[in-house]
Structure 1
Amino acid sequence: MSRTAASYPRLGNADIAELTDWRRELHRHPEVSGEEAETAQRVQAVLQATGPDRIVTGLGGHGVAAVYEGSAPGPRVLLRCELDALPIEEHTKAAYRSTVPGKGHLCGHDGHMAMLAATARLLGRSRPARGSVVLMFQPAEEDGSGAAKVIGDPGFAALQPDFAFAIHNMPGMPLGRVALTPGPSACASRGMRLRLIGKTAHASQPETGLSPMPVLSKLMPALTALGQGGPLDDPGFALATVTHARLGAPAFGIAPGEAELFVTLRSLTDGRMEQLVSEAEALVQEAAAAAGLEADITYEDVFVTTTSDADAVAIASRALDHLGIPHGRDPLPMRPSEDFGRFGAGAELAFLLLGAGEGRPALHNPDYDFPDELIPTGAAIFTAIVDEILGAPTT
């Protein structure tokens, strides 16, 4: 049976102080997607001190997982956070601000790591009654590549969970309030990279070349028109956003022969994404062929929809009720994407937003900083979820 709220293991003041210092050390040394080697070493060291049954490293790149076994067979519960920072210059006055030019923990992943490291301390002191817990520190969330690489890693097969949970901080929500809901929680998205290829010419004789300018000018509004948003409770929600365009060389004597266009495609469901991709590709190919241009299309930053399962949401909701933490649906589902959705293959999944306070800078803003007071809150939520599924140790 699960513990009462009063009997959950709790972090002491010394724990909180040490974890806060550790979070700030991570904040000083941000590493972006695929480069998280030193961050992974710091994570491994803090996990080793909690006495896990085993630690797995190098998952999908720099991923680290710690496993805590219960005393009897049972389900496996995966709790996940992210290792990577953003390629954004930090503009805060914090004493622990980033020491790496052009990079910063401006999405709060340093705080997520601290919450999971706090959970590791609690699990090290009090194992579940049965089953096992996997604490997954995932690389490369920000570019959408990390979860797929972790899941595809041969070392992950022995860690395949029955349940998976993740918490993401969210400024704009009241501090400590949680949002969760069954169904889609975060949108699917992908970056469509389009290259149009024609032929350059002297700027005095543009008719002797083949400029992609007319097609580029046509495609920007046409692609945008394929998805113009709408309410997020509509399964047909779709959004196409032009994020970058380039035409030819920065010169006055050359009529352009090549152009590049970046478009972010976004949808509430994976099915709608397939439709949106098909529509976008058909539009590009038709416009390019009519103008005699070659068109090359590739995709980057591919995220699937993060869909929370009703059973996992019910488990998390009970845990929050035991803790007395207020929760509801808003602001889910959300337009941003989240790499966590891929862990739902073969597992019951729930994605939670944890309020970081109203009136704070938004995620990915250059002045955002994770509120340290959420470290024990996140650990308490994770611990209560584990108890709901695996039960407290018998005494």
Structure 2
Amino acid sequence: MKNLRQQLHNIPEPSMQEKKTKKTLIEFLQAETDLKIVDCGSWFYAWKKGVNKTAQGAIAFRADMDAVSLDGKTVGHFCGHDGHSTILAMTGKKLTGKTTNRDVYLIFQPGEETGEGGAICSTLIKEKGIAEVYGLHNIPGYAKGAILLRKGTFACASTGLRIHMTGSPTHAAYPENGRNPSETLARLILEVENITREFQRQGKIVRMTVIGVEIGSNSYGMSASEGEVRFTVRAEKEAEFESYLKEIRKMAEGMARKGGFTLEMEEIERFPATENHAKEVEKVRGAAQKLGLQTMELSEPMRWSEDFGYYLRECKGAFFGMGDGEEYPQLHTAEYEFPDEIIEDAIMLFFTLAIEERSVLS
């Protein structure tokens, strides 16, 4: 178990480039399990056939394979996906030789960090008639091994939003002869803050973060003629997210039109809200309690995003957390490495959900 996790840790690969990682996992599953492996190009799944043909739908579990790029250069497993993949692969080993009531699918997904992989792999849900899907994420700041549960939204919807305005150049001594977007972009940032506060006053969980602003050039003789602001925006629920984005877009369009600027807007790395189903959350709780694992309720959704939301659009399921430890290094930092101590309990939780759904989950 630890050897596999370390193998994966030593070959981190960026989103949608997980070739060595995928090869390592497939070779492990071929050597150590009796599951059927289906290679789908950028991703793959392992499949175990159930014995009861009348069982209602299949069950699936998902792990992500990609690593994090901290600064555009340093790539490493600073989010714990090496641990997630190890848990799922070892669940396959645990299932070997066992009887399952219904078909079990283990989905090994690329590109979670960019939100691409979930959209690709979630097509398997309809294709195979999967009725339930489960996934997990390790989370620092909580008791080691604690199972973190939340009905409704577990992780927020989010997207990067690039807003670019182009006016017309002129000599810096005669700014009135050109169109400089700097004032408009500055006011746009303040107006988006106002939109955010209004949504929050209505009790909605939304947030905007300015990621970057670029206006003009380093030529002191020229008035700036184009610029852009980059936001990350997020919200608890998908419907609120759409409404929030619509208001921001509407504001940008109106301000660009009034200032006479050409407007470009682009969404980057969009993630849906990960909205859990209540009954499936209770199934996770039941399995955890059967194993004697501590469970904790989250009062608010995680602000970060997870592309597991694509799966939950297709069928019922639940995404849950597992504590790394209260004082553990934070995700997406150079100090972070997945704690091996929580792997075994995670395997047993997935295994219990897969093999004992009648007794544990009724």
Any residues of structure 2 matched to 1:43-54 within 5 Å, and which?
Answer: 43-54=25-36
2:103 equivalent in structure 1 = 132
Map Cα deviations across residues 351-386 of structure 1 (whole Å, 9 max, x no partner): 110000111111111211110111111101101111
| AA aligned opposite 1:185 | F
Q: Please point out which of 95, 105, 113 is paired with 2:77.
A: 105
- 8 Å contact 1:229–1:238 — kept in the other structure? no
Out of 108-117 and 342-351, give the one that drifted further.
342-351
Aligned to 1:339, what secondary structure does the other structure show? coil
TM-score computed with the length of structure 2 as normaliser: 0.93
- Per the alignment, residue 227 of structure 1 pairs with 196
Structure 2 residue aligned with 1:349: 317
Task: Sort the Cα spacing of 1:231 and 1:56 in 2 relative to 1 into closer, same or farther, 3 A.
Answer: farther
- 1:85 paired with 2:67, answer yes
Residue 207 of structure 1, CA deviation: 3.0
Question: CA–CA distance in 2 between the matches of 1:101 and 1:263?
Answer: 22
Which residue of the other structure, out of 367, 371, 374, is the alignment partner of 2:335? 367
Tell me, in whole angstroms, the C-alpha distance in 2 between the residues paired with 1:194 and 1:63: 33
Q: CA-atom RMSD, angstroms?
A: 2.2
Residues 277-288 of structure 1 mapped to structure 2, 5 A cutoff: 277-288=245-256
Shift of 1:251: 3.1
141-150 vs 204-213, greater mean Cα deviation: 204-213
Q: CA deviation at 1:283?
A: 0.6
Please say if residues 126 and 314 of structure 2, whose CA atoms lie closer than 8 Å, have aligned partners that are also in contact: no
Output aligned runs, 1:164-313, within 5 Å.
164-228=133-197, 236-313=204-281
8 A contact 2:122–2:314 mirrored in 1: no
**Shift in Å, 1:38:** 1.6
Q: Which residue of 1 aligns with 2:89?
A: 117
Question: CA contact under 8 A between 2:65 and 2:81: conserved in structure 1?
Answer: yes
In structure 1, the gaps of 5 or more residues are 1-18, 90-99
* TM-score of the two chains, using structure 1 as the length reference: 0.85
CA distance in 2, matches of 1:58, 1:254: 53
Aligned mates of 1:257, 1:368 — CA distance in 2: 43
Match of 1:265, SS state, is strand
- Residues 53 and 360 (structure 1 numbering): CA distance in 2 closer, same or farther, change over 3 Å? closer
Distance change in 2, residues 1:309/1:282 (3 Å): same
Q: Is the 8 A contact 2:29 2:35 kept in 1?
A: no
Instruction: Quote the Cα distance in structure 2 between the aligned partners of 1:45 and 1:249.
Output: 52
3-state SS of the aligned residue for 2:160?
A: strand
Deviates more, 1:205-214 or 1:289-298: 205-214
Amino acid of the structure 2 residue aligned with 1:333: P
2:19 to 23, 37, 51: 37
Distance 1:118 1:331 in 2: 31
Structure 1's 229 and 207: CA in aligned 2 closer, same or farther, altered over 3 A? closer
1:330 equivalent among 298, 302, 312: 298
Q: What residue ranges of structure 2 are gaps of 5+ in the alignment?
A: none
Q: Which amino acid aligns with 2:190?
A: P
Does the 8 Å contact 1:81/1:138 carry over to 2? yes
Q: Counterpart in 2 of 1:5?
A: none
Q: Give the drift of 1:331.
A: 5.4
User: 1:76-130: per-residue Cα shift (whole Å, max 9, x none)?
Assistant: 11111101111116xxxxxxxxxx95111111111111111110110123231x2
| Equivalent residue, structure 2, for 1:76 | 58
Q: Partners in 2 of 1:107 and 1:323 — Cα distance?
A: 26
Give 4+ residue runs of structure 1 displaced > 6 Å after superposition: 229-232
Q: Deviations over 1:43-92 (max 9, x none)?
A: 11112123344212235xx2111001122222311111101111116xxx
CA distance in 1, matches of 2:227, 2:358: 56
Matched residue SS, 2:345: helix
Deviation of 1:223 after TM superposition, in Å, equals 1.3
State the distance in 1 between where 2:15 and 2:338 align: 19
Check conservation: 1:82, 1:140, Cα contact below 8 A: yes
